[in-house]
Structure 1
Amino acid sequence: MKKLLTRRSFIVGSTIGAGLSLSGCDVLTGSDSFSRVLKLGETITMGAQRLFLSDKALAREFTEADMSPVFKSNGTHRPDSAEYAALAENNFVDWRLVIDGLVDQPLSLSLAELKRLPSRTQITRHDCVEGWSAIGKWTGVPLGLLLQAARLKPNARYLVFHCADEYEKTLDGTGQYYESIDLVDAFHPQTILAYGMNGTDLPIPNGAPLRLRVERQLGYKHAKYLMRIEAVESFAAFGRGNGGFWEDRGYEWYAGI
């Protein structure tokens, strides 16, 4: 464990140090050169994590005694669409998760069906890019299990998560929040689709009925209010082609920690 933490410290510290050394007028002007350096930093972070850590290396897990008394809800607290309101009113009985795109066997699963599948429970720390963190217990279906059932096509490289929340109008005009990860993170053993939090059903403010938990990345990658997972070869056709709502607004696509 000590060796793993040392490697993580090196990765995070190197990235933060590079960012601090560049802070100054370029940050304020939003110049192309600064954007290119940020992109380089993202590439270095991803490359270093993938080089030093096994694809299956686990994020630290905690005990129930470590759990935070309050787990903050961030971003959207409840989607305001009529469709979501109707689903929530009926306790999500009519909600279904669709998995499609570059798959041989598209899936459409109810919440009850997901809960009957093999599950994983993990107590992990959620680290927000805004600087706060919280430890919570999550229960859900390993994402890799569903992808195996859907049978990804050979040219599938990424998963795009389509969500029920609008948050604000997205840049492609659809009004739908989205996020994406690659297949390395998708098949990681701690990457789950969580329907339970702290021993109860996932609360609406925290993403009910289903949210992504991708434990080796920062909080904005953990998409809430999941409706559809689309396997794609590229996310260039979504938003501005950066792979997510916040990525289209300047955040890094790879938010590894």
Structure 2
Amino acid sequence: ANPVDPLGDEFKRLQAASFVDWQLIVDGMVTRPATLSLAEMRSFPTTTHITMIGCEEGWTYIGEWTGVPLSYILDRVGALPQARYVVYRSIQPDWWESIDMADALHPQTLVAHRMNGNELTVPFGGPMRLRVPRQLGYKSVKYLNHLTLTDTLKGFGKGLGGADPDAGYAWYAGI
């Protein structure tokens, strides 16, 4: 687990209440913008995959991840055909990334809320984490709380597609 902990006051408040007030906002190029609670997310159809996280720092981890396919959420909110990217954010300030629609719709891309049969814990990104197993670990943002569908990455950070590309990493992190 990455030792980064989003110790902001809002996160601490949510964690103290067992994340009952956690929300995932989905907006942008959709016909039905939504604010989804953790309870709603847990009620949606799930899938489970055993996949590896490969970190750009060199370590790897194989785990069983359970969550809602991102494609299900995008279908539910009515993703517009003009949308080319999903920009996603963490409750942790300035932590965001993006993927193209091909990766967003891939059947292994999940909004995970369980790992190895248990609720996803904070050190591993709980209560919700985007899992993008076809890309390096920095694309699997922890503490997920916002998805924005867009046709351009301009206007987000430096326009390079994520906090890590803004810091010099490649936007496409395929493995």
TM range, smaller chain: over 0.9
CA contact (8 A) 2:26 2:34 kept: yes
What's the counterpart of residue 11 of structure 2?
84
Which of the numbers 127, 140, 156 marks the counterpart of 1:238? Answer: 156
SS at match of 2:160: coil
Cα deviation digits, residues 123-170 of structure 1 (max 9, x gap):
11111111111111111000000100111123211011011113xxxx
Q: Unpaired segments of 5 or more residues in structure 2? A: none
What does 1:142-221 correspond to in 2, within 5 Å?
Answer: 142-166=69-93, 176-221=94-139
| Bigger proportion of residues as strand | 2
TM-score by length of 2: 0.97
What's the counterpart of residue 38 of structure 2?
111
What's the counterpart of residue 248 of structure 1?
166
Q: Would the alpha carbon gap of residues 105 and 119 (structure 1) be closer, same or farther in structure 2, given more than 3 Å must change?
A: same
Query: Quick check: which has more Rg, 1 or 2?
Result: 1
Sequence identity percentage? 48
What's the counterpart of residue 74 of structure 1?
2
Structure 2 CA distance, aligned partners of 1:233 and 1:205?
32
Q: Hey, which bits of structure 1, 4+ residues long, moved more than 2 A? A: none
Which of the numbers 82, 96, 99 marks the counterpart of 2:23? Answer: 96
| Bigger proportion of residues as helix | 1
SS at match of 1:122: strand
TM-score by length of 1: 0.67
Residue type of the alignment partner of 1:216: R
SS at match of 2:97: strand
Q: How many residues align?
A: 175
Larger RCO, structure (CA 8 Å, separation 6 or more): 2
Cα deviation digits, residues 168-221 of structure 1 (max 9, x gap):
xxxxxxxx2111001000000000000001111101011111001111101111
Residue type of the alignment partner of 1:140: G
SS at match of 2:26: strand
CA RMSD in angstroms comes to 1.0
